[in-house]
Each structure stands twice: as structure tokens, then as C-alpha cells.
Amino acid sequence: MIPNWLLQRAYLTPDRMALSFRDEQWTFRQLSEEAARIARKLRWNGLNEGDRIALLGRSTPEMVFVIHGCLLAGLEIVMLNSRLSSKEISWQLNDCGASTILADDEFLNRINEVSTPKLTFSAIESSDALHCTFTKIWDPSRTITIMYTSGTTGFPKGVRQTAGNHTSSALSSVLNLGLAENDIWLCTMPLFHISGFSILARSVIYGMGVRLYEKFDVESIVEEIQNGTVTRISVVATGLHRILDQFEENRSVAHPSFQTMLAGGGPVPDDYLRRARSYRLPVLQTYGMTETSSQTATLSSEDALRKSGSAGKPLFFNQIKIRDVEQSGDFGEVLVMGPHVTPGYIGHASDRDPLEDGWLPTGDIGYIDEEGYLFIVDRRSDLIISGGENIYPAEIENVLISHPHVKEAGVCGVDHPEWGSVPAAFIVGEENLTVSDLERYCKQQLAGYKIPKMFYFVDELPRNASNKLLRRELKEWAVSGGNKK
């Protein structure tokens, strides 16, 4: 039995701050009232409990109200990525079979050509409302959200996430991170992404305030962390890098009340972790994916320094193991089990079972050390095999990013007539940086076969809408000659 999140939270702590955006804020009672108003308008427009709709919007309070309105109305929400092209959005709409697309008016030009019936946010606002009651108890197996995987290889898959999945994820997280009455989570992650939506879920389950940002504004974010107006934030490595640079420029440190910088989306370079320490930023690496409704493992605060580079141990309800290994420290594919794992997919992948004997194969390569801590090495599909040796791009990237004149680094494998494949590196760096500098630096820290055979200097690295590095595009760049310096 799972209580309707927002109804239960508005009943328990109605006057506690739920959401703030710029100079405005709403209590849980006000959030519930806004969501109920939206839900009744959706019912007037013929959307009934159990219907599947698609949602396309920005990270604004209006989007938050619509999300909670859809949940109150009992709808399945396909969270469309607003950074996708019209063609990509059209493909996902055709695949998911949504009856209607609810869209921020700003994105109308993105969906002009799609055949799915459209309902804009302004049309919802001006609509009449139909009186109705809302389900107070949710079945744990009820699908709440559907999010498409990043699509780094092949066609993206629509992942079902249930009330039980999201609730389990939130409870596991709070058992690890803890909770204080004054906690406020600064949300800069897009709400269509699992990392953004999970913050909204935690908010109503915990009774925790959310400080919402539409875009990543590093100066304002650092100011909030310095002044103690927020206590937690979720970031990816590139965002962390910008925050560290801003702290360095400000010559400041985090407020003593700041508790957690949850870093996901891939391994965080050791150099970032060392710098964060000097600014009193407790960076906790975490590991999760769309299929696991956010976190599966997270490093606990007391282990953050001792186990630098680790994603920690599995959260309370979860299990992790490495496929076909004989002892701790051996590399292999990471397998995950727990109540946070998706029951399956929709659309073209609906007949594919995500589990093997109850375990979810993640496609990630990692190892578990002798104390049970998980370390993610790389994506299995990105593995470079050179002369029979396994090379993990993330290891080389970690070394490169520690160079004082390197801002970002991406490594991929390129075909080689003798060795089969060799590493190539793409660098976003300072103007005076040279290939010779990087080769000398790598020779000090890497085995010879791991040193990139080509270095390319670029203005930016290719990333998808979830900010993950697209190594397949790096391969295409390398084939075309890149922009060699």
C-alpha cells in the first residue's frame, strides 16, 4: 500500500515549504491545490485514470503543477526530453502510443507535425474543470512515469517506473543520506530526467522543500550553497567542474549547513573530488540508471574520503553483483536487483524482459572491492581491446582531467591495423596546451598501451540530453580527422 504522495504530504505538513522558484514559493497545501486544479481540468478534457499521456515542458513551477496534476488524475506520464529534435520526439510519440501530448506553449514548433492530439499548458489553464475525487491509495505496481533511455546505442527504450519503484528509491536514499527538517534540495536537473523527477518524488515523500532552477546558473547556485539557503544538490561531472571553478574564483567555501552534493552520470575524476574537499563540498558519488528509478548505490558520507572514486554500497533494499567473477576486484558486468528496478518496457521493446533470473544487466563494467564497495569502470560497449589488452576509456579520462590545463576529456577506441584498436583522446583545454604536454603527463601515470595515440583539441565534447558523453560520436570525429592541434 502506497499513499497518494501529494495528498498524504499536504495532510501531514500542509504549511511546510514545498517549492520555491526565483522569488515565489508554495507550501504543500498550495502545491496540492494547484495540482488538483490542473487534474480537474485534465478530466474535463477527457483524460481519465489509467490513460497514457506524453508531457513536454521546461523546469518551471507550471511544469511541477502539471506533473502532480497528472499524478492526481491517475495518468501514466511519458516524460519527453525537451532537448530532443522534432524527429526524435515524433519517434517516441509513435512508440509510446500516448493518447495526448501536454506541451508547454514554447515547444509547439517542435510538435507541429506530429499526429498525436495536443493540449498546451495555456489551453489547460483556460479550460473548464470537471469535479472529481482522487485515488488516495496507489497500487505499488501502478506505472507512474515512462522515461526513454538515452539512446546512446540503437533505438531508445521506454522504461516503465512504478509507484513502488519510485517510493523504494526515495526510501533507500533517505536511509543513506539522512533527513533534516530544514532540508532544501536545489534542483537544476531537468524534470523529464530521472534525476530531476526523483527530487520531486523525494520532496513529497519526505516533506522536503525544492529550490527549482530552470537552467544551470553556476553563479546563483554557488551563492545559494555559500549562503546556506540550500542543503543538497544533484550534479553531473561537468556541472561539478563549473561549480568548483566558481568557488575558486569566489575564494569561498560552502556553508556549514550544506550536506550533500550527489554526483551521478558517470565516474567523477579524482581531481574534482580533491578540489571539492578544499571548498568543504561533501561530494557523494552515486550510481543509477533510468531502469532503476535513480540511485542503486551511493557512497555514504563517512566513506566519501576513504573510498574516493567509489559509487559506494547498494542502498538498503538493493543488491549488486558482478557477473561471472571469482573474487573481489575482478572486472565484469554490473548486475542489479531490488524493488526499484523497472518491471519492463513499452512500445517496440515491450516484449523484452529486462531481467535475467531476477537481475538487471546494466551493460556497465565495474568491480566490487574486498569491503563490498562498487567501482564503475566504464560502459561495456565503450571497452577498447588493444593487442588483447582491455582499456577502459574512463581510466584515461580520469588521468587527463587531472591535468591542470584540461577542462574536459573524452576517450574512444579507433581501429588500428596492428593492434585492432587504440585509444584516441578529445580535449577541451586551455589555449597553450600541446600534444607533447599531454603525452608526457600520460607517460607518468599510464601504461604505454593506454596512452592515447591521437589527441584532438575541440571546443566541446558531444553529449546527449542527459549530459552523458557520446563516445560513438567521438569515434565518428576521429574517423573524419577531428581538429588535430
> Comparing 394 with 427, which gets the higher pLDDT?
427
Which pLDDT belongs to residue 248?
Answer: 95
CA 295 to CA 145: how far, in whole Å? 16
Q: In the chain, pLDDT over 70 holds for what percent of residues?
A: 97
Angle of helix 237-250 versus helix 270-278 axis, rounded to 10? 30
Note the pTM of the prediction, 2 decimals. 0.85
- pLDDT over threshold 80, residue 375: yes
CA 210 to CA 200: how far, in whole Å? 7
* Contact predicate 286/233, CB 8 Å: no
Which pLDDT belongs to residue 129?
Answer: 97
Which pLDDT belongs to residue 485?
Answer: 43
Which of the residue ranges 82-91, 201-210, 319-328 would you say has the lowest mean pLDDT? 82-91
2-138 belongs to CATH 3.40.50.980: yes
- pLDDT over threshold 90, residue 381: no
All structural domains of the chain with their residue ranges: 2-138, 166-381, 383-479
Which pLDDT belongs to residue 466?
Answer: 64
Q: Which of 308, 161, 217 is nearest to 22 (CA)?
A: 217
Which pLDDT belongs to residue 465?
Answer: 65
Residue 466, Cα to own-chain centre: how many angstroms? 6
CA 207 to CA 32: how far, in whole Å? 13
Which pLDDT belongs to residue 484?
Answer: 43
- pLDDT over threshold 60, residue 245: yes
- pLDDT over threshold 60, residue 483: no
DSSP state of 268: P
CA 169 to CA 28: how far, in whole Å? 21
166-381 belongs to CATH 3.40.50.12780: yes
- pLDDT over threshold 90, residue 357: yes
Q: What is the pLDDT of residues 62-100, one digit of tens each?
A: 999 999 999 999 999 999 988 887 888 999 999 999 999
pLDDT confidence tier of residue 46, bands split at 50, 70 and 90: very high
- Show Cβ contacts of residue 154 under 8 Å, excluding neighbours closer than 6 positions: none
Which pLDDT belongs to residue 153?
Answer: 46
* Contact predicate 103/57, CB 8 Å: yes
- Could you check whether 2-138 and 166-381 share the same CATH topology? yes
- pLDDT over threshold 80, residue 457: yes
- The dihedral sign for the CA sequence 244, 249, 255, 256: positive
Q: In the chain, pLDDT over 90 holds for what percent of residues?
A: 76
CA 390 to CA 244: how far, in whole Å? 32
- pLDDT over threshold 50, residue 152: no
Which pLDDT belongs to residue 93?
Answer: 96
Which pLDDT belongs to residue 302?
Answer: 74
Ranges 264-273, 288-297, 475-484, most confident: 288-297
Which pLDDT belongs to residue 150?
Answer: 61
At the second CATH level, the architecture of 383-479 is 2-Layer Sandwich (3.30)
Q: What is the pLDDT of residues 7-30, one digit of tens each?
A: 999 999 999 999 999 999 999 999
User: Which residue pairs from 244-251 have beta carbons closer than 8 angstroms and sit at least 24 positions apart in sequence?
Assistant: 244/272, 244/275, 244/276, 244/279, 244/281, 245/218, 246/218, 246/219, 246/221, 246/222, 247/222, 247/279, 247/281, 248/275, 248/279, 250/222, 250/226
Mean pLDDT of 422-442: 94
